[in-house]
Amino acid sequence: MEYNKQRTMLIAVLLIIMWSCCYNHAQLSSDFYKESCPSLFYAVRREVQRAVTRERRMAASLLRLFFHDCFVNGCDGSILLDDTSSSMGEKTAGPNNNSVRGFDVVDKIKSRVERLCPGVVSCADILAIIARDSVLLLDGPGWSVKLGRRDSTTASFTTANSGVIPPPTSTLDNLINRFRAQGLSSRDMVALSGAHTIGQARCVTFRDRIYNESNNIELSFALSRQRSCSAASGSSDNNEATLDIHSPGRFDLNYYRQLLNYRGLLTSDQVLYSGGSTDHSLVVSYSRSLNAFYRDFVRGMVKMGDIKPLTGSSGEIRNNCRRPN
């Protein structure tokens, strides 16, 4: 009798632990706003489409916002908070300063959504939706976006600066470890790196590679990039180059084909194909199969969106994405 009682108590404890671990994720669902804001997806898509039509590169910037948000204390919209007199936000942290952009687009989307459904949709969820729409608008894959996140009331300059966002000079081990710390596998990391099939990078992020990594960079590629990025820091620091030289405005597999030819722009790109564990199992596979890349990219995006969301009564629904209520 006593044994059965102890066994029942043990099972109950295990169920509570399992419930508490999975509860946040279980609260996220693709139809979270089905009743409270039924026109949400259409409203967001329309604004993203306008922004990308004006500037095709904006799709990459909006996708990057979601990544940089989720890697700092979870997908909570904290990257959108402005600095205040009493606290520093994440916008001026090293990985973001003079780099992340698209905040004005988020503001327009939030304003439109607030007119439709006041006080209902979080800024964190808006980031998740615009990431998906940005990929779709550049001919990439679509997926069902899980929603129900709430917004943080604070940002963390310190955490954003702590290395949780892998720098463009990352080694393969650092990339694997940084993604693993977020619950993402090596496969997720390589697939999500494929987001670099769109977008641009500044000279300061790839200068060292094009001048000092002669052993794993194709010579003509390095020379072509040196034309707009001088060896010494100065006026060319903010000059930009496309991450994918073949089809920078289309979400495809040319990024991986570039790596096979040692034409990765960033060190953190080329390390994916430099004699390490991800070479043939992943990079070669994605370079040959768009379906394989899309499948794993979508899985990675959904998993990334599950990183420590605020749900239930945690956080808030900001009225303005730039400041807490």
Does residue 237 have a known ligand-binding role? no
31 is in an annotated binding site: no
CB of 59 within 8 A of CB of 66? Answer: no
244 is annotated as contributing to ligand binding: yes
Residue 166 assigned as binding residue: yes
252 is in an annotated binding site: yes
Half-sphere exposure of 133 (CA within 13 A, CB side): 25
CA distance 3 to 103: 59
Whole-number Å distance between alpha carbons of 124 and 150: 6
Q: Residue 249 to residues 46, 98, 148, 286: CA-CA distances in angstroms?
A: 19, 22, 31, 18
Cα dihedral across residues 174, 90, 54, 110: positive or negative: positive
On whether 167 is known to bind a ligand per the annotation, the reply is no
Q: Is 125 annotated as a binding residue?
A: no
Please confirm, yes or no, whether 280 is among the known catalytic residues.
Answer: no
Q: Is residue 169 marked as binding? A: no
**Which residue out of 25, 68, 246, 280 is catalytically annotated?**
68
Helices (H), the chain: 2-27, 40-54, 58-70, 103-116, 123-137, 157-160, 172-180, 186-193, 203-212, 219-226, 254-260, 267-270, 284-288, 290-305
Task: Return the active site residues.
Answer: 68
Binding-site residue numbers for substrate are 166
Residue ranges of the binding site: 69, 72, 74, 76, 78, 90, 166, 196-197, 244, 252
Residues belonging to the binding site for Ca(2+) are: 69, 72, 74, 76, 78, 90, 197, 244, 252
Residues annotated in the binding site for heme b, as ranges?
196
